[in-house]
Structure 1
Amino acid sequence: MPLTDTACKTAKPREDGKPLRLSDEKGMYLEVMPNGSKYWRLKYRFNAKEKRLALGVYPETTLKEARQKRDDARRRLANGEDPGEQRKLEKMLKQVATANKFEAIALEWHARESHEWSAAHSERVLSAMQTHIFPYIGDRPIHEIRPLELLEVLRKVESAGNIDTTKRLRQRCSAVFRLAILTGRCDSDPAAPLTDALKSQQSTPRKALMREDIPAFLDALEKYDGNLQTKLMMKLMLLTFTRVGEMAMARWEEIDFDKALWTIPPEHRKLPEKSKKTAPPHLVPLSKQSLEVLRQLHAISGGREHIFPNRNSPRRPMSPETLRRALHSMGFRGKADVHGFRSTASTILNEEGFNPDAIERQLSHIETNKVRAAYNRAEYMKERIEMMQWWSHFLKAQTKPN
C-alpha cells in the first residue's frame, strides 16, 4: 500500500534500535533511523546486482518529490543506465566545474604564493581580488573567460582612477590564468594582451632637494620647534639616507658606537619576503655627526627597544608618517620627500666622483644584473666610510651661519 504524508510524518523509530523501513511502491521506501532521521531510498537491480539510491531527506524532500526522483531513476534504468553511477558522475562533474571556476583557481594561486609574502601583503592581494574581480568573473569557468570580458571588469577599477590597482590586478589575473594553463584547466591567458588596452600610471618622481636647496632646508630644520625626537630622526635620515621604514624600525641593539656601524637586519630591509630569510644585513657606516645625533637620542630613548619609540605606544616604533608631517610644518609640502634624501645624496655623491658601486651599495640597491650580482658582492666598506664622512662634512658646510 502506498505511503501517505500522515504515515511519513507520524512514523517512529523501532524500539529495538534497528532502522524502520516503510514501503511506498516501485522499490521506494522511507527509512526511519534510530535517532528519528528519515531518508528516502530506492531499491533497484542493475546487471543482476541489487543496489540502493538515496532520494533525499524527509521532510525536506516531500513524498511527492521523492516519487518524482524515483520515476526519473526508473526511466534511466529503462534506458540501460545505472542511476547510482550517473549520480556519482554528475557529482564528479559538478566538483570539477566548481574547481575550474576562476575564484577557486585564484584562491589556489594565492595559497601557493602567499607563503613568500608578508601577512599584510597577502591580505591586501586577496582583498583586492575579492572586491574587484570575484564578484564579476569568480563564478565563471576559467576556460570560458575571454579578454574583452576581463577588460570590462578591469576598466571598472580604472574608471575610478585606480590605475596602479588596475595594473596589479591584471598581473595577478594573468598569474592565475598561467597556473590554470600549467594544470590543464585552460589553454590561454586572456589577461596577457590587455597590457596596451589599459592606462599607464604617469610616475611622479619623489621630490628631492637640489644642491642649492640644502642650506634653506637645514635652516628650516634647525628652526623646527616640534618634537625633538622627530627633529633628530630627520637629521639622521639626511645623514645616512637610509629608507624611512628602516629608520623607523631601528633598535638600539643594531647600533655599535665603538665600530661606528648600524647593522640593519634583513627583516627590516626592502626585500621580497622570501629573500629576507637568506639575505645579509645592510651595514651603514656612521659618521661622527651621525654618532652625535644618536647620542642625543640615547638620552631620550636609550632605555627603550626602539631608537624612535612611538609616543603613544612606547613599545612600538614611531610612524614614518611623522616625518612627512614634520616636512609640511617646515614649509616643504610638495617640495621635498623624505625618500628623496636618497636621490639627493646619490646625485651629489656621483657628481663628486665617488665610486658608483659604493654609492649603490650604501643605498642598499639590489643589483638587477644577476651575473654581475653573483660576482660583485663587495661591501666597499672603506670607501663607504670615507664617503659617509665626506657627506656629513658637506651637509655641515651647507648650514647657514647664525
Structure 2
Amino acid sequence: MPRQSSATGGLTLLDPEGATSTAELAEAPSFTKPTEPLRSRIAYAAAHVVPQVWADNTPGQPADIDWDATLAFRRSVYSWGLGVADAMDTAQRNMGLDAAATRELIARSAEVAREEGGSVVVGVNTDHVDQDWIELDAIIDAYKEQLHFTEEQGAGPVLMASRHLARAAASADDYRRVYREVLASATAPVVLHWLGTAFDPSLAGYFGSTDWASASDVLLEIIGEHADKIAGVKMSLLDAAAEVSVRERLPDGVRMFTGDDFNYVGLIGGDTVGQGEGHSDALLGAFAAITPVASAAIQALDAGDPDRYLALLGPTEELSRQVFATPTFFYKTGVAFLAWLNGHQTAFQMVGGLHSARSLPHLSRIVELANVSNALEQPELAAERWHGMLRLNGVDA
C-alpha cells in the first residue's frame, strides 16, 4: 500500500511485482517560451496523432483522427520554438496511420505551420501502395508521388526508409538507383532518414548491408553525389558512435539530425559540452514527449550556458530510454501517454489500439522519470489522471 495519500501530494507508483510505493510529486516547471527563434540548434519534435475517443480504435481499422487535438499539439510545439516532424513513425506511420489519414495529416499540418510561422517536415514513403512487393520502377514512382504531394503542400520532405525497397533491393546499387532518381525529381533539398531495425525490423540490410559501416558508405555516396538536393540526414540507429562517424564525413551544408532517443544529450550538445567535434541537430520522437524541457535546454545553449543545458536535458535521457525500451517500436505508446498526462488530449487512446502496447509498470516508470525530469507540465493533473488509471485497473492510489 502507498505510504502517503495522493491527496497530500504523493505520486503512487507500481512495480513489476504489483507492489505500490509513493514518491513526492514535483512542482510544476517554470520554463518560459522563447521570444525569438532558437539559434544554436535546429530541433524538430516528431509528433504523434490523437484519435477520436469514440472511434473504432482497434487493430486494422482506418485511423479516425481528432484533428482539433492533433493540430493543437503541433501548435504547442511551435509555441516552444521547435519545429514539427510529421507523418513519420511517431505518428504511427506503418503502425495504424493509413494512407488517406497520412495524406490529410500532411496537408493539415502544413497549413498549421504556415499559420504559426513554424517549420514542418513530413515523411515521404511508398506505403500508400497496397502490394507487399513491387518492382524498383514502381518504388521510384511511389516515392515521387508522395514527394510531389508534400512539395505542393509547402512542407519539407523527409525521405523515409521504404519497406518496399528493403524487400526488393538485391544490392547497394538498387538503393543508389532509387535514391538517384527520386532525388533528381525533388525541387528543394530533402532530409534522408535511416531508420534502424529497433524501430522497424523489416528494414534490416537497408542501404545494402546489415553492417552499419558498410551501409553508411553507400549512404554517404548517395549524399555526396546529390549534396545540393540534401539538407540533412536523420539517423535513428540508437548508436552514438555510428552517428558521429557519419556526421564527421558529411559534406559541408548537410546537417546531421539525430534520431537517437538514447543518446541525444551528448550528440546535440557536441563540442559545446565537451562531447567530440561538432554537434547534431535534432529530429526526435523524444522531443514530442519533453517539448518544454527541450526548448529550455536549447535556450540555455543560445545563452552560452552549457551547464544549464546539461542540467535540464540530462535527466530526460533516462525517461526517453524508458519510453523507447525494447520493443522500441512501441515507443509511440509512451509519447501519447505523456501527452495525455500533460493535458494535450482528453483520453489515453491511440490509433489501432496501440495504447495497450505497454504494461502498467512500464507506464509507472515513465511517470516516475517524467516527475523527476520536469517533463510533467501540470503535475497535479498528471497525478490525477495516472491515479485514476490505476484505480480503473484495480490498484489503490
TM superposition score category, shorter chain reference:
under 0.3
Q: Higher relative contact order at CA 8 Å, sep ≥6: structure 1 or structure 2?
A: 2
1 or 2, which has the higher helix percentage? 1
From the CA coordinates, give the structure whose radius of gyration is larger: 1
TM-score of the two chains, using structure 2 as the length reference: 0.22
